[in-house]
Amino acid sequence: MPQETIKDRPITASGVRRAAKRIAEHVIRTPLVENDFLNVAAGGRVLVKAEVLQHCGSFKARGAYNLISQLDSDETKRGVLAWSSGNHAQGVARAARHFGAPATIIMPTDTPKLKIEKVRAMGAEIIFYDRYTEDREEIAKPIQRERAMVLAPSYDHPDIIEGQGTLALETIDEAHARGLTLDAFIACCGGGGLTSGCATLLEEASPETAVWIAEPEGFDETWASIQTGERQRADVTRRTICDAIATPTPGRLTLPIMQRLVRGGVSLTEDEVGQAMVFAYKYLKLVVEPGGAVALAAVLTGKFNGAGKTTAITLSGGNVDPSLFAAILQRHGG
């Protein structure tokens, strides 16, 4: 993204709390689900933040509303431009429609059909690009210049990061209301917007909670970046079912936050992700997309050891094409 468009300002827990007030009437306070079978499998207590029940089926509405609700009337008139593998696109499209702003979204040609269909249904213009050969930022630049649109980055922006952090605020408020202390919080991690916003909030609101990230094998460059202290890049020509979190590299704003606050990371294979999706299907009755199931897979595989702990996990998105879901049910449904 063009560097000059990023508003550099501190990302704070109080910023997350302000975001929560700003978006309260626009987003769903999603349930924190607990399940017998999951607790037994983990050997502890697992609280599932069921963000698949959010508007548009993922947490992305949080950041999008937080950013777009703050545009002035001129900016709103010119509209917003975003690139997205499909979930951020829906969040932006819905928020833009709500505030009367035109929205243009740059999406990969191999985006799941369901995501394309839902973005279209909310009235956004879609420009497709080939994510294996083209650079979405190069496609965005002339459009942004000509139309003077506001960029709505999918993660590397303070308003987006603080918006996504509201997920952790709801989670910790609900856990405390049930008399629970969270030993750990596991985020499904792509560019790090969700993780860094949630970690920022938890540092203040629940310092005893260890923040972990779950990534797909081959796209685990965030944990590698945290460990090495240098921004690593994933091989984005690699195919993955976890399209939602197949980001090339962690964000310029998100990585330093994650380096400071993330305590551990695990990588999940596609089979482990598929098994977690089937578990969610059978026992939680929730439809989860591959990229939204990695944190659940971290607990179910034991790669994150939840024994004796109280752990919150994000089920961060549920937009998966029926044909892929059917294939995963047939492969792992038993």
Number of residues written out for the chain = 334
Choose which of 3, 133, 237, 330 interacts with a second copy (CB under 8 A).
330
**Neighbour count for residue 7 (Cβ, 10 Å):** 9
State which of residues 15, 44, 57, 216 lies at the interface with a second copy (CB under 8 A).
57
Q: Is 326 in the site for a second copy (CB under 8 A)?
A: yes
Alpha-carbon distance 8 to 291, whole Å? 28
Give the integer Cα–Cα distance in Å for 26 and 65: 7
- Window 217 to 246, contacts with a second copy (CB under 8 A): none
How many binding residues for a second copy (CB under 8 A)? 32
Q: In angstroms, rounded to a whole number, what is the distance separating the alpha carbons of residues 147 and 167?
A: 33
Min dist. Cβ of residue 205 to a second copy (A):
23
What DSSP line would sit under 115-126, residue for residue?
HHHHHHHTT-EE
* Contact flag: residue 36 with a second copy (CB under 8 A): yes
Complex with a second copy: residue 10 or 334, whichever CB lies closer:
334
- Tell me whether residue 263 or residue 285 sits nearer to a second copy (CB atom): 285
Query: Which listed residue (14, 24, 37, 135) binds a second copy by CB under 8 A?
Result: 37
The region of 75-83, 166-174, 202-210, 275-283 touching a second copy under the rule CB under 8 A is: 275-283
∠ Cα 76 196 45 (to 5°):
120
Closer CB to a second copy, residue 166 or residue 316?
316
Taking CB atoms within 8 Å and a gap of at least 24, the contacts of 120-128 are 122/56, 122/90, 122/93, 122/94, 122/97, 123/93, 123/97, 124/89, 124/92, 124/93, 124/96, 124/97, 126/89
Q: Which residues bind a second copy (CB under 8 A)?
A: 31, 33, 36-37, 52-53, 55, 57, 94, 114, 121-122, 278, 281-288, 318, 321-323, 325-327, 329-330, 333-334
